[in-house]
Structure 1
Amino acid sequence: MTTFRAGWYVIYTKPRHEKKVNARLAENHIHSFLPTRKTLRVWHDRKKIVDEPLFPSYIFIYLDNMQSYYRGADAEGALYYVRTGKEIARVGETVVNNIKLISGQADDIEISDNRFQPGRQLVISQGPLTGLSCEVVETSGNCRLLVRVELLQRSILLKLPEESLMTI
């Protein structure tokens, strides 16, 4: 790493260690974000609603200097930073903000690794996400809000009623 730029990065963790790594980063005063969704888990004797990571084994981390870079890499359960070539890959602030908005407000979230054609650029006019400009695609005959996370090759889809959208 020749020059350091402050911003959002992604750490790859050991399987099922996302919450532990997130807690370790918080203990070290490093700002991190673990997007989760509530899912119903069914065992043979009970049912329970649990928080599971949207992106298994990935945590978003905000690094502002080299010291936080090394402390993040040394967190117990963290394996390495996601890279593109020889450089660690940055995630745009708008992508992280959109994920925060959607994961905090929506229950019907779907993660897809499909590649989507560019959709219509619209603005949400009703509900808790009012004012958010978004990309809307059609899947299975339904309009869905799309947040692309190119670095992880994933997309977040959220079902929205057609009447809550307006053109820019």
Structure 2
Amino acid sequence: MKDWFLLYCKRSEQERAVVNLERQSVTCYYPQVTVEKLVRGKRVTANEPLFPNYMFVRFDPEQVSYTTVRSTRGVADFIRQGPYPQKVQPELLHQLMMNENSEAHREKLSNLPKPGESMELQRGQFQGLEAIYQEPDGEKRSFMLIHLLGKPVKVSVDNADIVRR
């Protein structure tokens, strides 16, 4: 009977492990989410593992041995409870698969504002001023357009100081 188990993979080798495990008729699943993040000051959309270095696998231990799965390239070991690999409830996997790329989940992970969006600065030297988001400035800062002395001025502020209106 096929059961789900949790594997710990070597760093950044989940893709390699999937390819090698699927050749052995092992079903693999590692939830991924699409996130927007800043890379070198530019907004990039990328798929990232929800649980880095962890993967769910489903196989019949009578047909494929634990040792074979554990020895596969990219795999470090099973997550164990005592001497035996820990079984994972299928309901948990079903729930993860249903929520993996839901719109609500994606919205939580992608919280960068869009250019032209109206914001309010809640801390720092520009506290209380209304600003218009312009573009990212590194990983933790953004350029905002504020009105100072009747003229628009482009300033760089910490992302933690910004609140959407």
TM range (shorter): 0.5 to 0.7
1:7-156 equivalences under 5 Å are 7-44=3-40, 46-68=42-64, 69-108=66-105
Q: Where does the alignment leave 5 or more consecutive residues of structure 2 unmatched?
A: 110-165
Q: Tell me the CA shift for residue 39 of structure 1.
A: 1.1
Report the CA distance between 1:100 and its aligned residue: 0.7
Give unmatched runs, 5+ long, in structure 1.
112-168
Query: Are 1:37 and 1:107, in contact at CA under 8 Å, matched by a contact in 2?
Result: no
Amino acid at match of 2:39: W
User: Which whole-Å CA distance do the structure 2 matches of 1:87 and 1:44 have between them?
Assistant: 44
Task: Provide the rounded CA distance (Å) in 2 between the counterparts of 1:104 and 1:42.
Answer: 20
Count, aligned residues? 107
Mark the structure with the bigger radius of gyration.
2
User: In angstroms, what is the RMSD of aligned CA positions?
Assistant: 2.2
CA distance in 2: counterparts of 1:33 and 1:42, whole angstroms: 27
For the Cα contact (< 8 Å) 1:38–1:107, is it kept in 2?
Answer: no
Structure 1 residues 47-106: Cα deviation after superposition (integer angstroms, max 9, x where no partner): 321111111110000021244233321221101000011221000010111111110434
Greater shift in the superposed pair: 17-26 or 82-91: 17-26
